[in-house]
Structure 1
């Protein structure tokens, strides 16, 4: 870029929200420039290659049911690999299998005598999922709002099942174990899990934003271009370059957005740490999520069983996630071994990702969609302006594009 450049719209950040916004504005005929501070696109949806292992920046799953995903992403090109539809609930002494009865009814019902859910709770949870899947998302968004815990109890789920099964599982979904997340958010997430498949792309989660970025016109994306501050008519980069634009869309993480837009209110951030370990032998020959019933870790999974190509030479790649950004690697490795029922002392630590802004908190009351307009010519989008999900990020980016286009055309709506 030259030291002074003028474009119609500047998008700051090339995560899912920024890319969706830029693509929609481009399709509407607007001149867009996307500035990304990092060396590649994706934001939190990045994949690194370390010693031949493919590591997502924090454990992630890809849900195929999200409307924005289905609209924008070529799912076939991602070479998706599914998880087992359900999870193992382990406490270090035994593991109990909880399968999705809507996908594997024979197996799920066959495990009832020793299953983690009583028959009544299994029926209640199954009915809850079917109802959420059948109802339009708009209906769920307008439903009476409370906490997730109260919603489950009101649905008739026993305290034993809430505390012993659903709380440990949902802690890994919402990155909080108090079940204080809005019931509306819970029902939307539950709906998406029933309607879609939980998978991982063959090349890692970073393949999703890379696919989106590839559709931008040449020269419309600049990486390694951190924005220092916004001006009255554009932005100033960290290297002093000045860019002018009729509109600026801030599509960064929450802390960076608050810095660039003083006065912007952002939610509390949920933090998580993901440890990656290398094992000579897979501790579990199945692509299934293992949930810690005692919540000493959130969950663990042998990623090389989900996506064999993520680990070279037949070795196993194990991912273990823990709430917070101050987790201890040795404790997490030891607990993962207990959950698998193996000696994990020889597992080699490969990498850890301590993610302070893994998810925006979503306690009730929770606005599920907010305007992206911040000030004249200034906009902000991201999952913190919608739901804490890829769907929310993409939808917020799409809304920003609509609002920018309307304002530039003088037809504000």
Structure 2
């Protein structure tokens, strides 16, 4: 027998970031809302596994302190962002070099930042090309690592010690980052669209800097090793990077949806409730029968949304594999994000994440989290260990593997032509949101939820329709 009918103004299917963000907008406007989630927890792909005191993200998308939605979403005022060291470390030709370490602030400050970058880089040009100190700080010209150069780096034939170009090239990079930080988003979106791979050589930056910095950086930010992403989305990613700092949420990725869910009114989010069909006035669930309402918002991932909304386009996805290792003594890269410009192995980026966010590892232990983009090799842990030994310049033989998380449908692809504001209103009473409707980022998911909520409120007249009854527990 079906459970009795219980009602709300709006039923949201899916308790990921987009659905939770929409629920906040609706409840704040006085609209009674019920969020149903098939999984036993909220958050969707923003999940964190806990193993022996470690907090291990399953996907671990990089965030930026410049994401507006992180500061706008209700409930996230308690979010603590742990930034990486300024810029990134780039491994090439057996060295670490820091790049992009002076984010711009926009307006006249951007011009000053570009001039400062030029002065700083000229100073670097007269500094030694290699140092022996184990630490790596902002502006360090280079740290030579032990071990031979990779076969690929020997074949490239680049001059040793300048994988990012000379001082003038680096000054151009600093000026380019300052310009993109100062460029309004509307102007970025008005640029001609192609793939990121095709657009990068046209940005006025030397080829060595493109290959040594921009390609590995964008691969990490977009989870797209071949850079097939829309050039407009790539420009937005560079804008966020140049305007703020790369960061992770303290406590793991799951903290974002937990904070959002916790800040909603009681009896708003119901986990373990699977929707089997939707209409403009009801959601049918496997556990509670039909839930009647005045509007339905589907906020699941793209595949689940297409099952509930036949005809909805499903994008391709970028697979992501995250490998977590622990050891007694951390590698000497501090809180830096480390990229591999040589592409000498499967790891796209890696970090001693316990140095960035100490809450992710128990006292006395270090946590290194490494991301593999694309199809992983057969022996992913062995290949990653061998690659990390070269990247960090240390033996990984005694490192302990904590987890290997592979997500085949991790990040929706944003190939051109890509509509960054895909419609969220399908018809009056039926809506859809998620990172597959905006950009494939935390920022995109949150913003999509807010757009969908605004569309719902407009159709409902921005006021409550009737009082909601509590949803019962399944028998």
TM-score (ref. length: structure 2)? 0.81
Does residue 1:245 correspond to 2:307, yes or no? no
Looking at structure 2, the residues matched to 213 and 358 of structure 1 have their Cα atoms a distance apart, in angstroms, of: 22
Match of 1:386 in 2: 438
Does residue 1:138 correspond to 2:186, yes or no? yes
- 2:277 match: secondary structure: strand
Match of 1:343 in 2: 395
What is the deviation of 1:332? 1.2
Cα deviation code 1:83-133 (max 9, x no counterpart): 011222224833233242347958765544645322343233222221221
Q: Contact conserved, 2:424 with 2:451, CA < 8 A, in 1?
A: yes
Residue in structure 2 matching 1:122, options 170, 177, 190: 170
Match of 1:260 in 2: 308
Match of 1:209 in 2: 257
What is the deviation of 1:294? 3.0
Looking at structure 2, the residues matched to 40 and 343 of structure 1 have their Cα atoms a distance apart, in angstroms, of: 38
Looking at structure 2, the residues matched to 75 and 238 of structure 1 have their Cα atoms a distance apart, in angstroms, of: 32
Q: Contact conserved, 1:39 with 1:223, CA < 8 A, in 2?
A: yes
Give unpaired runs (5+ residues) of structure 2. Answer: 105-115, 130-160, 464-475
Aligned pairs for 1:6-45 within 5 A: 6-45=7-46
CA change 1:317–1:108 in 2 (3 A) is: farther
Looking at structure 2, the residues matched to 410 and 195 of structure 1 have their Cα atoms a distance apart, in angstroms, of: 34
Does residue 1:147 correspond to 2:148, yes or no? no
Does residue 1:311 correspond to 2:312, yes or no? no
Looking at structure 1, the residues matched to 442 and 35 of structure 2 have their Cα atoms a distance apart, in angstroms, of: 19
Looking at structure 2, the residues matched to 353 and 261 of structure 1 have their Cα atoms a distance apart, in angstroms, of: 29
Q: Contact conserved, 1:234 with 1:243, CA < 8 A, in 2?
A: yes
CA change 1:115–1:79 in 2 (3 A) is: farther
Give unpaired runs (5+ residues) of structure 1. Answer: none
CA change 1:2–1:325 in 2 (3 A) is: farther
Looking at structure 1, the residues matched to 411 and 263 of structure 2 have their Cα atoms a distance apart, in angstroms, of: 27
Looking at structure 2, the residues matched to 358 and 109 of structure 1 have their Cα atoms a distance apart, in angstroms, of: 41
Looking at structure 2, the residues matched to 408 and 75 of structure 1 have their Cα atoms a distance apart, in angstroms, of: 27
Looking at structure 2, the residues matched to 213 and 82 of structure 1 have their Cα atoms a distance apart, in angstroms, of: 24
Residue in structure 2 matching 1:408, options 460, 465, 468: 460
Cα deviation code 1:191-235 (max 9, x no counterpart): 111212222232222222222222211001111212222256322
Q: Contact conserved, 1:12 with 1:36, CA < 8 A, in 2?
A: yes
Aligned pairs for 1:97-108 within 5 A: 97-102=98-103, 105=117
CA change 1:332–1:238 in 2 (3 A) is: farther
TM-score (ref. length: structure 1)? 0.92
Looking at structure 1, the residues matched to 248 and 320 of structure 2 have their Cα atoms a distance apart, in angstroms, of: 19
Looking at structure 2, the residues matched to 81 and 354 of structure 1 have their Cα atoms a distance apart, in angstroms, of: 24
CA change 1:337–1:107 in 2 (3 A) is: farther
Looking at structure 1, the residues matched to 212 and 180 of structure 2 have their Cα atoms a distance apart, in angstroms, of: 22
For the pair shown, the structure with the greater C-alpha radius of gyration is 2
Looking at structure 1, the residues matched to 363 and 407 of structure 2 have their Cα atoms a distance apart, in angstroms, of: 29
- 1:318 match: secondary structure: strand
Looking at structure 2, the residues matched to 337 and 9 of structure 1 have their Cα atoms a distance apart, in angstroms, of: 52
Match of 1:283 in 2: 331
Looking at structure 2, the residues matched to 96 and 225 of structure 1 have their Cα atoms a distance apart, in angstroms, of: 50
- 1:258 match: secondary structure: helix
Match of 2:5 in 1: 4
CA change 1:232–1:392 in 2 (3 A) is: closer
Q: Which moved more, 1:297-306 or 1:351-360?
A: 351-360
Aligned pairs for 1:51-200 within 5 A: 51-72=52-73, 77-91=78-92, 93-102=94-103, 105=117, 110-112=123-125, 114-118=161-165, 119-200=167-248
Looking at structure 2, the residues matched to 271 and 93 of structure 1 have their Cα atoms a distance apart, in angstroms, of: 28
Cα deviation code 1:4-56 (max 9, x no counterpart): 32221111111111111111111122111001122222222222221110112
Match of 2:448 in 1: 396
Looking at structure 2, the residues matched to 401 and 15 of structure 1 have their Cα atoms a distance apart, in angstroms, of: 14
CA change 1:410–1:335 in 2 (3 A) is: closer
Looking at structure 2, the residues matched to 245 and 102 of structure 1 have their Cα atoms a distance apart, in angstroms, of: 47
